[in-house]
C-alpha cells in the first residue's frame, strides 16, 4: 500500500509542477490573465503594473517580485527582464511567463534560494514590449516564409533601432572629454520615438535599475555592449566588425558568460550555423546596431543591460517550449543573482540626509554611476581592489580604497562635507526625477 501511495504522490507532484503555465504560446489576453493569476497566487510578493500603452492601446505590463511590492527599499537593487521587443521573437515572452510562475511557486514552497532572491532583490518582468507586433506574428504562426512578419510595432518601426543615439556622443566624449554617464537626451526626444519606446525610457528613468537583460531570438548567444561600432556599418556588409568595448568590458563579458554557461547549450558556441566562443559576443563585433536599447541603458542610466538571443527559430513551435524552459531556467535565475556583486552603500551629508544624484567614480573605469532618490548607490564590479570617489555639487569629494570579493557586495557608505557652509538652501537644490513609483504605488 505504501508503494502505491508513493507512486500516487510522485504523480501528484509531477502534475503540480506541470500545472502552473502550460507550455503553449500566449496571446495578449492570455498573457494578461497569466500575470494576474500569478499575482493572485502570490499577492504579498507581487504587483502588476503598466508602464504605458502600445500604438494599438495594449498595456505594457510588468510583474514585480519583492517582499515589499511597490516600494524601493534602500540598498536593495532593482533588476529587470524585457521580452518580445521584436514581436516575432517570442521565446523570451514565454520564458518570462514561466519564470514568473516558477518564482511564485518556489517562494510558496519555501525554496531557500528563491525566497532569498525575492527578499533581497526587486525584480521587474516585462514579458512583452511589443504586444501589437506579437499579435501579427501569432496570427501567422511559425511559418518561416514570413520570417519578419510582426517584428516591428504597429507603425512599422523596429523598436530596437528607435532609442536616442547616445553612442555618437560618448565616442566623441571619450576622445575629446565630456560626461561618461547619464548622457542627456535632446529636448524633442519624446516626439522622435514610438509610444512603446517612450514608455520604456520613462520607466528606466524612474527606477534605479542596476542590471537588465533583453530577450530576443534568431540566434543563441549572449550579446553585450556596445552594439554600435565606432565605424558604424549595417549588418550584412564587410562580415564581422571590430569589437567596440565599454569601459566595463570585462564585467559585461562575465555577465554574458554567467548566462551562457548556466544555459543548457549556449556555451558550446556552435548554434544556428554560427560560432561564438563561450557563447558570447560583443554586439558591434557581431554587427553594428544603432539606437539600440542595451547601449541606451548603459549610457543614459545606471543600468547594465545585455541582450540574450535564445533560439534559432524566432517563433518556435510550442512542443519545443518545455525543452527551452529547461535550458534557460537556471540561467535566468543565475543572471538575476548577478546584481549582488561589487559595492553598494548610502551617500549622506553631514546631517545624515540622503544625497540623491551623487556621482560614484571608480579609478581606471571611465563610467560613473549615481545615487538614487534615497541616496543609495550600486556599482557592479569584478573582484579586485578599487579606488572609489563620491562627489556631489557643493560638497567635498570623498575617496576610499575598497577590496571587492567574489561574494556579496561590499557595503561602502559615504558621508560628504559641504565645501562652503551655507546658511540657507537654495530652492531646487535637490531636484529629483519625476517619481514613477509613487504614480504606480498602491493607494
Q: Which residues are marked as active site?
A: 309
Quick check: 227 and 288 in contact, CB under 8 A?
A: yes
- State the pairing for strand pair 122-126/78-83: parallel
Integer angstrom CA distances of residue 130 from 53, 157, 195, 406: 10, 11, 10, 37
Quick check: 405 and 385 in contact, CB under 8 A?
A: no
C-alpha cell at 374: 534615497
CB-count burial class (<10 Å; 0-12, 13-18, 19+) for 293? buried
Integer angstrom CA distances of residue 369 from 78, 406, 416: 14, 21, 17
C-alpha cell at 166: 547616445
Strands (E), 285-339: 304-311
Q: Closest Cα partner for 360 from 317, 329, 389?
A: 389
Q: Closest Cα partner for 88 from 25, 155, 29?
A: 25
C-alpha cell at 234: 549595417
Quick check: 355 and 392 in contact, CB under 8 A?
A: yes
The DSSP line for 10-62 is HHHHHHHHHSSS-SS---HHHHHHHHHHHHHHSTTTEEEEEEEE-TTS-EEEE
Q: Closest Cα partner for 289 from 219, 205, 363?
A: 219
- Cα(10)–Cα(401) distance, rounded to whole angstroms? 54
- Contact residues for 425 (Cβ-Cβ < 8 A; gap 6+): none
- State the pairing for strand pair 280-282/219-224: parallel
CB neighbours of residue 177 within 10 Å? 8
Q: What is the DSSP letter of 335?
A: H
Amino acid at each position: 500500500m505504501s508503494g502505491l501511495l508513493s507512486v500516487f504522490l510522485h504523480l501528484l507532484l509531477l502534475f503540480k509542477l506541470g500545472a502552473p503555465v502550460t507550455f503553449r504560446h500566449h496571446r495578449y489576453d492570455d498573457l494578461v490573465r497569466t500575470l494576474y493569476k500569478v499575482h493572485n497566487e502570490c499577492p504579498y510578493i507581487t504587483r502588476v503594473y503598466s508602464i504605458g500603452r502600445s500604438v494599438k492601446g495594449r498595456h505594457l505590463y510588468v510583474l514585480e517580485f519583492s517582499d515589499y511590492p511597490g516600494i524601493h527599499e534602500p540598498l536593495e537593487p532593482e533588476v529587470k527582464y524585457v521580452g518580445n521587443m521584436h514581436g516575432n521573437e517570442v521565446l523570451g515572452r514565454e520564458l518570462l511567463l514561466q519564470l514568473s510562475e516558477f518564482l511564485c511557486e518556489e517562494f510558496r514552497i519555501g525554496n531557500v534560494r528563491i525566497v532569498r532572491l525575492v527578499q533581497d532583490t526587486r525584480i521587474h518582468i516585462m514579458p512583452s514590449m511589443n504586444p501589437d507586433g506579437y499579435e501579427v506574428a501569432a496570427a501567422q504562426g511559425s511559418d518561416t516564409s514570413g520570417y519578419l512578419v510582426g517584428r516591428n510595432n504597429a507603425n512599422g518601426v523596429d523598436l530596437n533601432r528607435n532609442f536616442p543615439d547616445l553612442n555618437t556622443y560618448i565616442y566623441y566624449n571619450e576622445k575629446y572629454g565630456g560626461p561618461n554617464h547619464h548622457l542627456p537626451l535632446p529636448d524633442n526626444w519624446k516626439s522622435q520615438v514610438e509610444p512603446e519606446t517612450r514608455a520604456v525610457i520613462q520607466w528606466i528613468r524612474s527606477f534605479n535599475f542596476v542590471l537588465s537583460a533583453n530577450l530576443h531570438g534568431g540566434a543563441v548567444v549572449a550579446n553585450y555592449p556596445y552594439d554600435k561600432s565606432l565605424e558604424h556599418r549595417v549588418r550584412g556588409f564587410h562580415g564581422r566588425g571590430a569589437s567596440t568595448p565599454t569601459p566595463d568590458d570585462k564585467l559585461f563579458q562575465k555577465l554574458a558568460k554567467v548566462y551562457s554557461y548556466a544555459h543548457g547549450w549556449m556555451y558550446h558556441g556552435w548554434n544556428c550555423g554560427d560560432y561564438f566562443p563561450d557563447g558570447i559576443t560583443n554586439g558591434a563585433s557581431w554587427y553594428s546596431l544603432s539606437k539600440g536599447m542595451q547601449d541606451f541603458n548603459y549610457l543614459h542610466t545606471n543600468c547594465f543591460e545585455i541582450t540574450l538571443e535564445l533560439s534559432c527559430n524566432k517563433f518556435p513551435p510550442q512542443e519545443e517550449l518545455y525543452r527551452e524552459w529547461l535550458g534557460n531556467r537556471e540561467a535566468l535565475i543565475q543572471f538575476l543573482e548577478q546584481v549582488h556583486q561589487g559595492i553598494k552603500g548610502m551617500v549622506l551629508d553631514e546631517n545624515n540626509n540622503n544625497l540623491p544624484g551623487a556621482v560614484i567614480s571608480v579609478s581606471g573605469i571611465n563610467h560613473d554611476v549615481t545615487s538614487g532618490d534615497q541616496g543609495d548607490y550600486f556599482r557592479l564590479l569584478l573582484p579586485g581592489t578599487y579606488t572609489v570617489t563620491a562627489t556631489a555639487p557643493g560638497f567635498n569629494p570623498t575617496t576610499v580604497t575598497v577590496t571587492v570579493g567574489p561574494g556579496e557586495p561590499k557595503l561602502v557608505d559615504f558621508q560628504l562635507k559641504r565645501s562652503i557652509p551655507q546658511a540657507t538652501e537654495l530652492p531646487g537644490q535637490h531636484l529629483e526625477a519625476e517619481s514613477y513609483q509613487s504614480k504606480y504605488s498602491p493607494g
